[in-house]
Amino acid sequence: MGKIDIFTDDKLYVANTYARFNVAITDGNGCTLIGSDGKKYLDFATGIGVNAFGINDEEWKDAVVEQINRIQHVCNLYYAEPQVKLAKLLCERTGAKKVFFSNSGAEANECAIKTARKYSYDKYGEGRYEIITLKESFHGRTIATLSATGQDAFHTKFAPFVDGFKYAEPTMDGILKCYTDKTCAVMVETIQGESGVNVLDGDFLKNLEKFCKERDILLIIDEVQTGNGRTGYLYSYMAYGLEPDIVTTAKALGGGLPIGACMMFGKTEYTLSAGDHGSTFGGNPVACAGAYSIINRIDDALLLEVQGKGAYLTENIKRIKNVTEVTGKGLMIGIGTTKPAREIAQKCLDRGLIVLTAHKRVRLLPPLIITKPEMDEALKILNEVISE
Ligand SMILES: *Cc1c(COP(=O)(O)O)cnc(C)c1O
């Protein structure tokens, strides 16, 4: 094989499904990423909310390497301790009763959708299978989770989609318009990440919970992006005192390795039984060992820090000229400006700051361990780019 040119060979050989920025990331340390040309970048994207403890996180690396040195994969027909340890920790920290492990956020949501339908099938028989999701939501890229995603733009090219999803405005009126005697669940993100860091109203969430409880409709919270400390709470629903029936998560859970989790609370504890669901790689011991070291360190002290850092960034971003609004919670921040978001992201990149976009907004998902000097550096660059 000849010499690789990352940029031209990527276009030649890798499916062109991503609108990549013209940078290759090769290394990193803490909250800094290093490009193939040696240039340093301050990381306010964490690989889309994944590397929450930064790069070269020693505790996570130790946990992962220790497990690799023992065994890299165990099939799910046998018991394996890393999976049990992580499931127990997640249950203790959330009150969930059972955890199903997958490899991604979309798959965690697939499990939630199957669990909700099975719960209803077991109790009410056939036909009660509809799930209400919200307009502007994002739940994944598989056919079922695309079907669950409430954005028309995703519903054109890959028909036919999965039947049984209805898209509501994020109000009780909106929910009532979609509700029928076939409704078995409602699935929401408390903050819609991909569609602009749209924060749902807390009263709406509480009313929705009550509405669901009264009708035995399952409340599913998609915490794939908002979870694992991102919003200043271990899971964002905790900020509202909600009692969901199913919570899904992924992204930061694995600290950089692929893992997703579908957490089943009281009502759905025994819904899935042997043969109902499965995954070859789901609950991989290396991914689980890494995830354990992540969740185990997201304690109250860290969560308070995340809240403080989020408030500091938000206050200072609000002061920047041409910023029209700042949305989000904790270290999940959306910035509305008078300029195109992609242009801002490109200009930040040129100045050594990596940020994300989400529809019309600039989106920040910095590492939870970001420091004050690093936040000040990012604010300086954001100020230069947005106010110019
Ligand atoms: C990223 C994301 C997903 C999909 O996760 P994948 O790991 O890419 O499958 C689902 N829901 C939400 C809210 C997300 O942010």
Averaged over 346-360, what is the pLDDT? Answer: 98
Q: Is the pLDDT of residue 2 over 90?
A: no
Closest Cα to atom 15, ligand 1: which residue? 225
| Cβ < 6 A, ligand 1 pocket | 104-106, 109, 138-140, 189, 193-194, 222, 224-225, 250-251
The rounded radius of gyration (Å) of the Cα atoms in the chain is: 21
Alpha carbon distances (Å) from 220 to 3, 102, 278: 48, 17, 20
**What are 184-234's pLDDT values in tens digits?**
999 999 999 999 999 999 999 999 999 999 999 999 999 999 999 999 999
Q: Any idea where the domains of the chain sit in the sequence?
A: 21-52+300-387, 60-295
Average pLDDT of every residue of the chain: 97
Expressed in angstroms and rounded, the spacing between residue 28 Cα and the centre of ligand 1 is 24
pLDDT tens, residue by residue, 81-132: 999 999 999 999 999 999 999 999 999 999 999 999 999 999 999 999 999 9
Widest CA span in the chain: 65
Q: Please tell me the predicted confidence (pLDDT) of residue 349.
A: 98
Instruction: Write down the pLDDT at residue 230.
Output: 98
For the domain 21-52+300-387, what is the CATH superfamily, name and number?
Aspartate Aminotransferase, domain 1 (3.90.1150.10)
Q: What is the third-level CATH fold of 60-295?
A: Aspartate Aminotransferase; domain 2 (3.40.640)
Q: H or E segment at 312? A: helix 300-318
- In this predicted structure, the answer to whether residue 170 has a pLDDT above a threshold of 80 is yes
Asked whether 51 and 256 are in contact (CB, 8 A), the reply is yes
Q: What is the mean pLDDT of residues 324-344?
A: 98
Arithmetic mean of pLDDT, 263-273: 97
**Structure confidence at residue 257 (pLDDT):** 98
Could you tell me the distance, in angstroms and rounded to a whole number, from the CA of residue 134 to the centre of ligand 1?
15
Q: 0.85 cut: is pTM over it?
A: yes
Would you state the pLDDT for residue 102? 98
pLDDT of residue 68: 98
User: What is the distance between the alpha carbons of residues 274 and 255, in angstroms, rounded to a whole number?
Assistant: 29
Q: What pLDDT is recorded for position 1?
A: 74
